[in-house]
Amino acid sequence: MKFLTIYRASFYLMLTFATLVLSIDATDDNRFAMLYPVVVALASVAAFLTVDRDPKFGLSRTAASVLALISGGLSVAEYRYDNTLLLLSAAHWLVYLQLVKMFLPKTVEDDWFLFLLGLVQVLVGGVMSQSDKVGIALFSWALMALWVLILFALHREALRMKVAPMAETARARGDRAEPYRGLIDVPFIVSTARVAATTLALGGLIFLAMPRRTSMGSSQSSGALGRHLTGFDDEIQLGQLGEILENDTPVMSVELLDNEGSRIVPGQDDESRWRGVSMDRYERGRWFRPKFKANGYSLGLTDRWRESRVVRQQIKLEPTDSPVLFGLRPILDADAPDKRFLPELNEADGTLFRNSTLAVSFDYSVDSADRADLPQPGEAYPSVGYLSRLVSIPDDLKARLRPIALDQVRGIDEGDLKGRTAALERYLKDSGEFRYSLEQDTGDPNLDPVEDFLINRKTGHCEYFASALALLLRSIDIPCRIINGFKGGDYNAMARITTVRQKHAHSWVEALVGRTQAQDPAPDWITLDPTPSAERNASISRVGGMASHFYQVTDFVRFVWIFYIVGFNSERQDRFLYAPIRALIKEAQRGFSIMGDSIKGWFHFPSVESFFSLRGFLVSFGALLVLVGVINLVAWCFRRLMGRFAGKKENDPTGMAGVQFYRRLMQLLAEYGLERPAAETPREFARRSAIFLAGHGSGTESVADVPPLVVDAFYQIRFGERTLREDDLEHITSRLDALDARIHPQKA
Amino acid sequence: MSEDRSPLRRFARWVVWSLWPNQRLRWTREGVIYFCVWVGLLLTGLYQQINLILLVAGLAAGPMVGSIFVSAAMLRKLRISRRVPSYVFSGTPLSIDYSLDNDRRWSAALALILTDDMIPIDRAVSGPTGLTTLAFFPRVAARSRARVRWQGISPRRGQYRFRMLELVTRSPFGLLERRVAIGDPAQLTVYPEIGQLTRRWKFIQREASETRRGSRHDLSTQQQEYHGLRDYRPGDSPRWIHWRTSARRGQPMVKEFEQQHEQDLAILLDPWLPRTKISPERREALEDAIKFVATICFETCRHPGRRLLLGWTGAVPGVRQGPASVKLLHELLEQLATLRPSSEGSLASLLDVVPPSTLRESYLIVVSTRPINLMEEAERSTRLSATALRGLLGRVTVLDASKGDLRDLIKFDRTNGMAKMGRGPATDREEASLALADGPAGRPEDGEANP
């Protein structure tokens, strides 16, 4: 395949990827967004087959200018149609310009311009969205860009050296115009891959080392809301949670850290409950969230907890349309890098929330006590009104459920609320009467769904179990509320994070059993989870199909993307990069100080007598050796520097003269009949000539010393880099004249 | 030179070579623009603190940093060499062969440029500028060799030195250029340009020759070569009778001489230029004089038989002479190639060093770049007697290049030399170049190559 063909095809593919980065996550804003990369790809093929093969098929510059103006008008029209999409409209103009440019005959400058257009599209794409889809497209573009840059450099070099004519002449010349024949072979692919890997690694390092702020900017999306998270609305239809239980889309990624910042590895049966919303009112198969005013309680890790064991959760929440945040209860502190959206705690129901519902991922951290049974700091004891709602249950339903509940708590003292709640929990969870299932069939449609679950169906998912327990508790006047959140998650051993997916959604119950016994009495809420864990876990493991087998890899990639690329802030930078470097330096310092101490010991001589020992000899010998080395090094450097200052002795007359003398000698001896064969060195030849001259018997004995003399001088100048003194030069000249006179007596 | 086998020394040399900067790295024009765009990208990313922009900036920095290492790798395990002729005539096509050996086991060497500088040894002769040659090696597969021939027009006369071969790579992205200099000294002598003598010059020569024949009877038999004996013919000079043979044979026998048809030639060149304020015209005149002299030497040496002498004025006047031969031609052309203009010296001092026999018998051509009064010069000469001067005046042609005397005597083929290379009929100069290439072996450069 021809170089130009490969280059051009790669270039167009890279441009298509650039447009893909721009469009891949813009379908919410513009439903035709995904058409743009398709159009670019088609246009690439068309341009490849026309203008790149023969420039006469290309647009004229005037036509291109007119089309560029029209495309500007199109972008303005798009903006006027929806004025929230200024950035996207401007980016689409880049795509139009790119399309126009593709159909022009291309010079090197045009290729750079196209490359730049692609780069700007990528940047706009990155500004508009930071999703992992954009990441994959961006990475593909980066790889293609590297490949194209390599080919582009070769193309430029060929053009510069005039061995790769442009398309029209290339076609006419055929193979002769192929500058890099046989370029694409296995070694080239391998070395290119190596270059790409090196470049990406270096680029990655530079990216990691760039200065960061605590809070990184987020993408500039159009302001649309994020993904709807079923089960976390103000009003929830019983069974609704089942929709997301069969969905394995990630909701959040969590890093668990202890007080020292070390990672905590959750156990096999991770029972962490990421508390979300609470619901207090039940009516005909629907649960309602309490209508509190958002009276936020600013959390802060009090001194009381500072010394305790704390589980820190670094959470990256995917874009959702709900202000609810998740965390392990009891929540001691919560923070976010973006101080505009600090998490707050609803002191009435203990819900954590934020004042933002923008469709961007949200970083926050939660500090929780390592014991789930501890009270939630900052949560107020329920008011009378709230308390009444916590025990409210339709009378008819209460009448029917109460006997069931009483049957289970028989023998337990009325005042032993914990005992009674535990009994009811056991009834649902461990009695074996109830089975966990995501199938939602109805036994008797005339009955309340919870009653139907308890009496007829006896199968359902966590929402039914939790609702059943809550209503049973209320039927015997124990205040309680339903909590919707997530339980467990997929722990990734490579990334050491937990990915919580929608399938991990869970409902459980919090029952109020009084006040805590602490100095500062708080409501004593206990957590009850009546759902059979084993069956639930089995059900979760079935969700996801084949893809779930690759979660270790995909979650790791996702983790890198969200924590170390999109969400890489100064805190992570410090933890990932600078802290290890600091530790390394400290370690090195310690090592050097140990080495220094041991070396010092060698040089320590308490008395003069102690110096005269084997150690003293070795030390003094070593020191002298180093001294000599240093002196030599300094002298060498000095000579080199002086040589540099003095400049090259290119026109040194003595040097040139040495060569001239040597030539003259060779010439004279040649005239005398002595020629140096190639295998003989000048010195050997001089020796042989001297013998000839000395033994000739025709008066040349007196000049037999000339050849060695001249060759010695020649060696000194040529290889010894020396210069001859003036009197030496004169001497050699006179001796050569004498030789000349002897060889050519008639001349004399 | 024998290799140093001491591992310590070899290691030390390796360290020194590693530290010594024989490689240079510099930005290309595209690299500078790329860097500016990258800075813009970086500043945007840092200001906005958007990680994806910073990521693109980081990835965009990769090619710049990566180029430092990859370009160094591209130049590893490559050997380059140059083959250059030992002489060439100025203005004729010059070919230099470059070869590149890729000793790598696996990867090809791509888009390598080899630059070579021909630096004039004597700027007073060849002018300040040399010649830079470029050879492009698009692709040299692993463990193979590629040869590239550079062809151009040879520069002004003089001796040129090739010092360093520079291998240049812009691999892999064309943002940075790395140059490695490899010492490979060589020398090239550019002989003066050879022209074609015109009919006018031939006419002058014929005229001078006829003048000489007119006074031929005055010449001694020393100018004639003894050939043999023959019978006496009426009209033969009695002085030619070989009495001993005549007595032995019993009939008069005379000595037979073969007359030399062409007289020995002495060219005296006066490359005079004023010390200051040298106008381009004067310099041009000097070069014309040298080219003219070179052409006469060339023409003379094509036909062996005559003796040729070249003398030049200067602070120290010089003379070279010998029977016309290719070997002498090389010597004379080399002398002319390196001849420096001089503001000192005079023809008188040159006449002092010219052998008396030459002054007595040879035909003299005096080429100067200033007006010459031969009478005055002869008077100033310590060797030339009044009688010798009288004899000399009939055998001398004085030409003043500064007055344009040479304009009608020589012409040059000024067509583009490149057009002549490899196409069309070979010109005289090309023939000459080829002919000389078959001349005596053992040029000085060959001799020096061995040590």
Summarised one tens digit per residue, pLDDT across range B200-258 is 888 887 777 666 554 444 444 444 555 577 777 666 777 778 888 888 888 888 876 65
User: In this predicted structure, what is the pLDDT of residue B191?
Assistant: 92
User: In this predicted structure, what is the pLDDT of residue B217?
Assistant: 43
| Residues within 8 A of A (CB atoms), B 13-32 only | 30
The average pLDDT across B143-150 equals 90
User: In this predicted structure, what is the pLDDT of residue A18?
Assistant: 94
Query: Which of A408-412, A504-508, A530-534, B128-132 is predicted with the least confidence, judged by mean pLDDT?
Result: B128-132
- Whether the model clears a pTM of 0.80, i.e. scores above it, the answer is no
Residue B168 with chain A: CB contacts under 8 Å: none
Residue B50 with chain A: CB contacts under 8 Å: 126-127, 130, 216-219
Residue A145 has pLDDT above 90, yes or no: yes
Percent of chain A with pLDDT over 70: 88
Residue B430 has pLDDT above 50, yes or no: no
User: In this predicted structure, what is the pLDDT of residue B215?
Assistant: 46
- B121 Cβ under 8 Å from any chain A Cβ: yes
Nearest CA in chain A to B170: A153
- A69 Cβ under 8 Å from any chain B Cβ: no
Residue A689 has pLDDT above 90, yes or no: no
Q: How many CB atoms lie within 10 A of CB A593?
A: 10
Residue A482 has pLDDT above 60, yes or no: yes
Residue A223 has pLDDT above 60, yes or no: no
CA distance A592 to chain B (A): 25
- B59 Cβ under 8 Å from any chain A Cβ: yes
B78-193 and B263-411 agree in CATH topology: no
User: In this predicted structure, what is the pLDDT of residue A148?
Assistant: 94
Q: Which of B55, B139, B149 to mutate to test the interface with A (most CBs of A within 10 A)?
A: B55
Residue B60 with chain A: CB contacts under 8 Å: 119, 203
| Residue contact A142–B59, C-beta within 8 A | yes
User: In this predicted structure, what is the pLDDT of residue A650?
Assistant: 45
Nearest CA in chain A to B444: A663
- Position A652 confidence tier, pLDDT thresholds 50, 70, 90: very low
Choice between A152 and B10, residue whose per-residue pLDDT is larger = A152
| Residue contact B51–A650, C-beta within 8 A | no
Q: Where are the domains of chain B?
A: 7-74, 78-193, 220-259, 263-411
| Residue contact A190–B106, C-beta within 8 A | yes
Residue A295 has pLDDT above 70, yes or no: no
- Position B405 confidence tier, pLDDT thresholds 50, 70, 90: confident
User: In this predicted structure, what is the pLDDT of residue A40?
Assistant: 93
Q: Where are the domains of chain A?
A: 3-210, 569-603, 653-743
HEC profile for chain B? CCCCCCHHHHHHHHHHHHHCCCEEEEECHHHHHHHHHHHHHHHHHHHHCCHHHHHHHHHHHHHHHHHHHHHHHHCCCEEEEEECCCEEECCCEEEEEEEEEECCCCCCEEEEEEEEEEEECCHHHHCCCCEEEEEEEEEECCCEEEEEEEEEECCCCEEEEEEEEEEEECCCCCCEEEEEEEEEEEEEEEECCCCEECHHHHHHHHHHHHHHHHCHHHCCHHHCEEEEEEECCCCCCHHHECHHHHHHHCCCEEEEEECCCCCCEEEEEECECCCCCCCHHHHHHHHHHHHHHHHHHHHHHHCECEEEEEEECCCCCEEEEEECCHHHHHHHHHHHHCCCCECCCCHHHHHHHCCHHHHHHCEEEEEECCCCCHHHHHHHCCCCCHHHHHHHHCCEEEEEHHHCCCCCCEECCCCCHHHHCCCCCCCHHHHHHHHHHCCCCCCHHHHHHCC
Residue B61 with chain A: CB contacts under 8 Å: 202-203, 206
Nearest CA in chain B to A677: B447
User: In this predicted structure, what is the pLDDT of residue A99?
Assistant: 93
Residue A177 has pLDDT above 80, yes or no: no
CA distance B230 to chain A (A): 32
Residue B164 with chain A: CB contacts under 8 Å: none
Residue B265 has pLDDT above 60, yes or no: yes
Of A70, A2, A15, A69, the residue nearest A45 (C-alpha): A15
Residue B443 has pLDDT above 50, yes or no: no
| Residue contact A216–B50, C-beta within 8 A | yes
Residue B429 has pLDDT above 80, yes or no: no
The average pLDDT across A575-590 equals 91
The average pLDDT across A401-412 equals 89
Residue A166 has pLDDT above 60, yes or no: no
* Mean model confidence pLDDT for chain B: 79
The average pLDDT across A570-595 equals 90
- B178 Cβ under 8 Å from any chain A Cβ: no
Nearest CA in chain B to A126: B52
Question: How far does chain A reach from its first CA to its final CA, in angstroms?
Answer: 75
Nearest CA in chain B to A178: B138
Residue B444 has pLDDT above 60, yes or no: no
Q: Which of A132, A184, A206 to mutate to test the interface with B (most CBs of B within 10 A)?
A: A206
The average pLDDT across B383-404 equals 82
User: In this predicted structure, what is the pLDDT of residue A520?
Assistant: 64
**Which of A154, A161, A207 lies nearest to residue B113, judging by beta carbons?**
A161
Residue A455 has pLDDT above 70, yes or no: yes
Q: Which of A191, A360, A363 to mutate to test the interface with B (most CBs of B within 10 A)?
A: A191
Tens-digit pLDDT profile for residues B32-82: 999 999 999 999 888 888 888 888 899 899 899 889 988 988 998 899 989
> Which residues touch A585 (CB under 8 Å, ≥6 apart)?
none
Q: Are B130 and B189 in contact (CB under 8 A)?
A: no
| Residues within 8 A of A (CB atoms), B 237-256 only | none
**Which of B139, B171, B173 lies nearest to residue A180, judging by beta carbons?**
B139
Residue A676 with chain B: CB contacts under 8 Å: 447
Tens-digit pLDDT profile for residues A53-69: 888 888 888 898 899 89
User: In this predicted structure, what is the pLDDT of residue A170?
Assistant: 45
Q: Which ipTM score applies to this complex?
A: 0.72
Residue B450 has pLDDT above 50, yes or no: no
| Residue contact A154–B110, C-beta within 8 A | yes
Residue A628 has pLDDT above 90, yes or no: yes
Separation CA B435–CA B92 (nearest Å): 14
User: In this predicted structure, what is the pLDDT of residue A557?
Assistant: 83
Residue A587 has pLDDT above 50, yes or no: yes
**CATH number assigned to the domain covering B263-411:** 3.40.50.410
Judge: domain B78-193, CATH 3.30.365.10: no
Q: Which of B1, B13, B59, B143 to mutate to test the interface with A (most CBs of A within 10 A)?
A: B59
Separation CA B267–CA B293 (nearest Å): 7
